[in-house]
Amino acid sequence: MLPGRLAELPPSSFAMLATLLDSTAPGLPPISLAVGDPRGAVPAFVMDALNAHGHAFGEYPPINGTAAWRAAAAAWLRRRFALPASHLDPERHILPLNGTREGLFLAPFVVTPETKAGGRPAILLPNPFYQCYAAAVLAAGAEPVFVRADASTGFLPDFAALPKAVLERTAAAYLCSPSNPEGACAGDATWRTLFELADCYDFTVFADECYADIYLDTPPLGALTARLAQAGSFARLLTFHSLSKRSGLPGLRSGIVAGDPALMAKFRALRNYAGPQVPLPILAASAAAWSDEAHVAANRAAYREKFALAQRLLGNRAGFRLPEGGFFLWLAVGDGEETALRLWREAGVRTLPGAYMGREIERGKPRTNPGFPYLRVALVNDLSTIMTALERMVEVLGSGTA
């Protein structure tokens, strides 16, 4: 449907899901666990901030946000990732985003040269992956290099295993931690290895950390923390954070990009052309959200309760495992597409086949897609709805895999 190099993009995950399911009637009243769309009450202080600043919708917002937003965002980054104030300047290290996806999409345009090492620049992606990454890479003119992330690699990509010729052409690498869809968290060794590669081959790390505040036990190590400890700076790093996940406010369309001040200056210049400013009332509400931890702790407690329920109901079915972070189950069901169709046809439960988030390693061989055996289940509904959906899934899955 799209022209030129964007024709390489597959249909979106949810377009493929509609093709799979929509011609089949659900077996029971439908429940969707397919979309990572956090549900819940909007905190009162967010509505208060929006109402108090509603008049400012009549003004053009600044590209770098307000002083109050920058102060709140910087304070959260320092607090969450144990960063000294001397190493995080609100004027140089951070920018607001009109939804984190906007930043993840624009990032390759900041770092992708016309050629590198005598060839087409490459940008590395985990496989499975968030589809925005691939669209961004192709739009920027780079070659997407999909790197397997499955049980054999701890559900994180092993970029160091790539051939030297690929690494020499690499302009950037995306790493999501906690990862979507698998819920794996990058530790010190993973970050250190990635930054060593970035330093050796002169590329930028795009750290997608939208789920950094959603975890079961231990707060995931952040890219800013790891990079500062390793290099004493944020060189070659851009990291992305989101109120959609942290605060359960996807409709606010508000996030942060932070990192290397030289890259941030380029990012600011690019955004001046594109003009995706965040409206002033949204910035005020965002500042309030970044400043409050109580609602985040409550969200995290609610997710823990949902995962405990899933563990109790699913037990050892479908390769069940608890993720380290995020709000997805990544179930090993043997054939994610076939299982998703069965769950819809027999139980009215809508889930996402893992293959719809991955890419075949060998074209024309579906089972080489690292997502093929998996099913992604989003635990974002209220507890009662999730219980009903999971109980139906147990009836379909039985005592083993589908």
Domains of the chain: 4-41+295-397 (3.90.1150.10), 60-292 (3.40.640.10)
| pLDDT at 394 > cutoff 60 | yes
By DSSP bridging, strand 31-32 and strand 349-350 are parallel
Task: Respond yes or no on whether the N-terminal peptide bond of residue 178 is cis (omega within 30° of 0).
Answer: yes
Convert the pLDDT of each residue in 124-143 to its tens digit: 999 999 889 999 999 999 99
376 SS3 class: strand
Residue-level pLDDT at 398: 84
Query: Residues 324-363: pLDDT tens digits?
Result: 999 999 999 999 999 999 999 999 999 999 999 999 999 8
- The pTM for the full model equals 0.94
CA–CA separation, 381 vs 383, rounded Å?
6
Give the separation between CA 281 and CA 285, rounded to whole angstroms. Answer: 6
Q: Measured between alpha carbons, how far is 115 from 171 in angstroms, rounded to an integer?
A: 9
Closest to 287 (Cα-Cα) out of 43, 77, 91, 68: 68
Q: Report in angstroms the alpha-carbon separations of 41 from 56, 248, 291.
A: 24, 8, 18
Q: How far is Cα 203 from Cα 237, in angstroms, rounded to an integer?
A: 9
Q: Which of 71-80, 271-280, 309-318, 355-364 has the highest mean pLDDT?
A: 71-80
Residue with tokens 């999971």, as numbered in its chain: 390
At residue 45, the pLDDT reads 95
Is the alpha carbon torsion for 384, 342, 26, 37 positive or negative? positive
Q: What mean pLDDT value characterizes the chain?
A: 94
Residue 327's alpha-carbon distances to 29, 84, 221, 288, 315, in angstroms, are: 23, 30, 17, 24, 17
Find tokens 């002169």 and name the residue. 202
Q: Cβ distance 166 to 173 under 8 Å?
A: no
